[in-house]
Chain A
Amino acid sequence: MTEPAFEPRIIGFLCNWCSYAGADKAGAAQVPYPPHVHFVRVMCTGRIDPHFVLQAFAQGADGVVILACHPGDCHYKEGNLRALQRHRLLLRLLGQLGIGEERCRFDYVSAAEGDKLAAVVGDLVKMIRAAGPLPVRPEQEIGRD
């Protein structure tokens, strides 16, 4: 019997003003991209609390992606810079917790870049497929009875 193919579950936090509109654009233009990313729309990537990302992994997401307005284009001036700063720091923390960089991505997608959105998502899904499912803790980890 063959194992069922691994279909990654990925959570995407997309800025309303750019990347989410970019995803709409990709949809409207019928640019195909894999369906594994569950998009969560945020008003700005600066709104993304690191808790959201940890919570996604704690609940079994195989990957997380944050898509922001290009540098200089954030509607709230520096929200995307703060998001990137938090992301770079979170990567260090995640690394120590056994979650590699390939599972937590940050990129810029504008409202016009439907093609880029599809490319980023496609690439991410490929990388996470290669990395495999997020390791899970054994059910009875602290109990032996």
Chain B
Amino acid sequence: MANKPQLSIYWAASCGGCEIAILNLHERLLDLDAAFDLVFCPCLLDTKKKDIEALPDRSIALTLVNGALRTGENREMARLLRRKSQLLIGFGACAHQGGIPALANLDPAGPLPAIYLEGPTTPNPARTLPLPETTVPEGTLQLPPFLGRVAPLAEEVAVDYFIPGCPPEPEQVWKALDPVIQGKPLPPLGSALGAGRSAVCAECGRRKREKKISRFHRTWEIVPDPEQCLLDQGLVCMGPATRDGCGALCPQVSMPCTGCYGPPEGVADQGAAMVAALGSILDIGPITGLSPEEIAARIDEVLGSLPDAAGTFYKYSLAGSLLKGRLP
């Protein structure tokens, strides 16, 4: 047992779903357990940071880090685990491009005012805010500080590979871990493991036609045709701007893709890709004889049915996008 390679699993700013995704490996968990000795996993084990610090550098064979970097603690743990690990994999959408926690980057004021001062169910007349350091009669208490914005893992440490998805699908997780366990050659550093390179549309079985959209619909507004492409029907499906690999799970059950696998290979910005895709398929009717202002107004009318462009297009990738969030 002592000479099995070591595995560590850490959560930074995440929801715990990535640990569940590992649990979803089901009987393959036994294979994972046969291959590795799990030495660190705050969700499951009681080993502490000091136990990791005591290990020789590069002694952990594989570390899976899920979650975005939100606090000083996340960053410190990322650095520590990088130092102690041979292979470090960013696991899930948050480690990859910030994920849902990175939507916080739309508010440069940071989370504290909204939570502690403006929350309607949080009476706080003294306007008390958590501070990195607080002195009490017993001594000084410390909390990890928030970083100025949510960042993807790779902004702080070298990430060897990433496994995209919110959370990654078990089949994909296994496709990524199996070659590592078998010691098979891995793709070039920095690649996505266990996912495709193209877009979700490429593996979606829905019937596509030439798209012309004169109005967008929210999912609750229409009952979509079961076979037609959802985007054709005016549902904002992120399929064209999202990496494949999940098997087009969501459109299969009539839910538009929300983009959890991040942008396809070679695409820097999921929002830009979605603007390009949607901008080409709007149907504003005949424009001959209209003034430039009238044409623009027609377009705005169609776009008016699409609320929250940033939240929709960057639901999982804001921290990794070109602008990283709202400018100060």
Contact = CB atoms under 8 A, between A and B. Distances in A.
Interface of A: 49-51, 53-55, 57-58, 71-72, 81-90, 92-93, 96-99, 108, 134-138, 140-144
A88 B304 CA distance: 11
A89 B328 CA distance: 22
B149 A51 contact: no
21 contacts: A50-B273, A51-B273, A51-B322, A54-B321, A54-B322, A82-B279, A83-B279, A85-B280, A86-B279, A86-B280, A93-B275, A93-B310, A97-B310, A98-B326, A98-B328, A136-B327, A137-B149, A138-B328, A140-B148, A141-B149, A144-B145
A142 B69 contact: yes
A28 B147 CA distance: 53
Contact of B290 (A71, A85, A89, A134): A71
B155 interface: yes
Contacts of A85: 279-280, 282, 284, 299
Contacts of A136: 327-328
Contact of A89 (B72, B156, B275): B275
Contacts of A108: 292
Contact of B287 (A71, A83, A87, A97): A71
A83 B292 CA distance: 13
Nearest to B70: A142
A113 to B, nearest CB: 13
A58 B303 contact: no
A98 B326 CA distance: 5
A143 to B, nearest CB: 8
B282 A137 contact: no
Interface in B259-296: 268-269, 271-273, 275-276, 278-280, 282, 284, 287-288, 290, 292, 295-296
B287 A89 contact: no
Contacts of A90: 275, 279
Contacts of B326: 96-98
Contacts of A50: 269, 271-273, 275-276, 279
A142 B313 contact: no
Contact of A84 (B106, B295, B311): B295
Contacts of B280: 82, 85-86
A144 B74 CA distance: 13
Given A96-B106, A98-B108, A135-B328, A51 B309 contact: no
A135 B326 CA distance: 10
A135 B287 CA distance: 37
A32 B269 CA distance: 37
A88 B290 contact: no
A55 B327 contact: no
Given A84-B296, A96-B309, A54 B327 contact: no
Contacts of A143: 75, 147
A53 to B, nearest CB: 8
Nearest to A93: B309
B256 interface: no
Nearest to A90: B275
B231 to A, nearest CB: 14
B59 to A, nearest CB: 25
Interface-central residue, B69, B151, B282, B300, by most chain A CB under 10 Å: B282
A138 B276 contact: no
